[in-house]
């Protein structure tokens, strides 16, 4: 892998890497990055516009470095959802949860980090970029997390960061709060719970554990259920000492004034923005039923996507045929599996229609070859 010129002093650890690149191509149904398919209402767009306009007069100044107003709003939001009593001192806000993950590695990644594969591909990728040794822990055959095995692997490797994604991406399956508590009791270092899809799940959030287990830190985002991916706002809920440590690694003024005000307005409109979650969960049930009716296997999901298998076409071929039919889904690199985000009803119908046609045609071909 030496497409890099020899004179370029690129870090050795980076030389074999490729940049993150979920395809951004036009399609009739965009079901590949787990975004919320519903656009913001005209009223909300206008409210953001007004707030941005008045903030724009002060853009000669740096933003509030500590994003105090936004962090206070996020603390209230979390307390409303989970009955906790966190304050802004327990909240860190950044440009997407990916920046949070990077900051965690920068502050706490000296030893090593462990996650359980398959899971969110950015955890190991950001680990590499920050020169944090990464351990790929194992899951069961059906991709559920085996807590006893996890505890064993954690004990063997003594990581400073243990990543659990729940509901997990790309599988959609979740870990119970009791299992997280069991891990919290035994892991060395920090137990990082990535709850990017928590709003879609009926499991209790791990933010409820932070009081008792200050080593539990919880990553949340406005990118998925909150319908706000374009703004780039992720946040961390954690013990105050964790937040204080993140101040050491953040870049000065990392969160722009425009991001802060847009996210503040979004919190005021939280009911509207989260109002589609129930509809998406119902649509998930519908898509799951349709996939099963096609004879496919679907992993039970508590998120806004489904990982399915059981098709006899290679996953990259099926992915391409769907794209040719105007439906963009995700090949997550697991042989025999594809992941589809739950979209609007129209998008889901388009996906199921295209998939049905491709699968039926391939089955016809196989039967005529058999004759």
- Which of 120, 116, 172, 184 lies closest to 146, judged by CA? 116
How many Å apart are CA 311 and CA 113, to the nearest integer? 35
Relative to beta strand 305-309, strand 337-341 is antiparallel
> Which listed range, 94-102, 147-155, 171-179, 272-280, lies at the site for ligand PLP (CB under 6 A)?
94-102
Binders of ligand PLP among residues 118 to 137 (CB under 6 A) are 120
Contact by Cβ (8 Å): 181, 57: no
Q: What share of the chain is helix, strand, coil (3-state, %, to 5)?
A: 45, 15, 40
| Closest residue to ligand PLP, based on beta-carbon distance | 96
Contact pattern from residue 303 through residue 342 relative to ligand PLP, giving x for each residue in contact according to CB under 6 A and a dash for the rest: ----------------------------------------
With binding defined as CB under 6 A, does residue 169 bind ligand PLP? yes
Taking the complex as a whole, the smallest distance from the CB of residue 165 to ligand PLP amounts, in Å, to: 5
Helices (H) and strands (E) in the chain, counts: 12, 12
How many Å apart are CA 325 and CA 305, to the nearest integer? 20
DSSP string, 74-103: HHHHHHHHH-----GGGEEEESSHHHHHHH
With binding defined as CB under 6 A, does residue 166 bind ligand PLP? no
Out of 36, 90, 132, 223, which residue is the one contacting ligand PLP (CB under 6 A)?
223
Residue 301 to residues 32, 91, 173, 361, Cα–Cα distance (Å):
16, 28, 5, 28
Contact pattern from residue 16 through residue 35 relative to ligand PLP, giving x for each residue in contact according to CB under 6 A and a dash for the rest: ------------------x-
With binding defined as CB under 6 A, does residue 194 bind ligand PLP? yes
- Which of 180, 143, 136 lies closest to 159, judged by CA? 136
Taking the complex as a whole, the smallest distance from the CB of residue 200 to ligand PLP amounts, in Å, to: 11
- Which of 351, 106, 350 lies closest to 251, judged by CA? 106
Cβ nearer to ligand PLP, comparing 97 with 215:
97
With binding defined as CB under 6 A, does residue 82 bind ligand PLP? no
Taking the complex as a whole, the smallest distance from the CB of residue 38 to ligand PLP amounts, in Å, to: 17
> Which listed range, 54-62, 95-103, 253-261, 331-339, lies at the site for ligand PLP (CB under 6 A)?
95-103
Out of 84, 97, 132, 227, which residue is the one contacting ligand PLP (CB under 6 A)?
97
With binding defined as CB under 6 A, does residue 205 bind ligand PLP? no
How big is the site for ligand PLP, counted in residues (CB under 6 A)? Answer: 14
Structure token pair of residue 17: 């890497």
With binding defined as CB under 6 A, does residue 173 bind ligand PLP? no
How many Å apart are CA 285 and CA 271, to the nearest integer? 22
Contact positions vs ligand PLP (CB under 6 A): 34, 96-98, 120, 165, 169, 194, 196, 221, 223-224, 229, 234
């Amino acid at each position: 892998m030496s497409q890099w010129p020899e004179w370029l002093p690129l870090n050795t650890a980076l030389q074999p890497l490729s940049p993150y690149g979920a395809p951004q191509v036009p399609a009739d149904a965009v079901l590949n990055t787990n975004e919320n398919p519903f656009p913001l209402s005209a009223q909300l767009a206008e409210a953001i516009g007004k707030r941005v306009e008045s903030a724009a007069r002060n853009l000669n100044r740096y933003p509030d470095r500590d994003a105090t107003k936004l962090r206070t709003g996020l603390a209230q939001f979390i307390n409303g959802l989970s009955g906790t009593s966190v304050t802004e001192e327990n909240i860190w806000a950044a440009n997407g949860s990916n920046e949070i993950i990077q900051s965690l590695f920068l502050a706490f990644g000296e030893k090593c980090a462990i996650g359980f594969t398959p899971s969110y591909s950015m955890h190991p990728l950001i680990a590499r970029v920050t020169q944090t040794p990464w351990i790929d822990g194992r899951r069961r055959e059906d991709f559920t997390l085996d807590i006893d095995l996890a505890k064993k692997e954690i004990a063997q490797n003594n990581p400073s960061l243990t990543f659990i994604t729940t509901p997990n991406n790309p599988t959609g399956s979740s870990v119970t709060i009791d299992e997280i508590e069991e891990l919290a009791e035994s892991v060395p270092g920090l137990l990082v719970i990535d709850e990017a899809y928590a709003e879609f799940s009926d499991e209790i959030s791990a933010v409820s554990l932070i009081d008792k287990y200050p080593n539990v830190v919880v990553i949340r985002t406005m990118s998925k259920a909150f319908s706000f991916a374009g703004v780039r706002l992720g946040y961390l809920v954690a013990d105050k000492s964790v937040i204080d440590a993140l101040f050491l690694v953040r870049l000065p003024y990392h969160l722009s004034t425009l991001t802060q005000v847009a996210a503040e307005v979004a919190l005021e409109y939280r009911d509207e923005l989260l109002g589609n979650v129930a509809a998406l969960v119902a649509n998930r049930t519908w898509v799951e039923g349709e996939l099963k009716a096609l004879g496919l296997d679907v992993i039970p999901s508590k998120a806004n996507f489904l990982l399915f298998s059981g098709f006899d076409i290679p996953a990259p071929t099926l992915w391409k045929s769907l794209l040719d039919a105007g439906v963009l889904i995700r090949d997550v690199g697991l042989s025999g599996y594809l992941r589809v985000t739950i979209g609007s009803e129209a998008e889901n119908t388009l996906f199921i229609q295209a998939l049905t046609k491709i699968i039926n045609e391939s089955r016809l071909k196989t039967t005529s070859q058999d004759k």
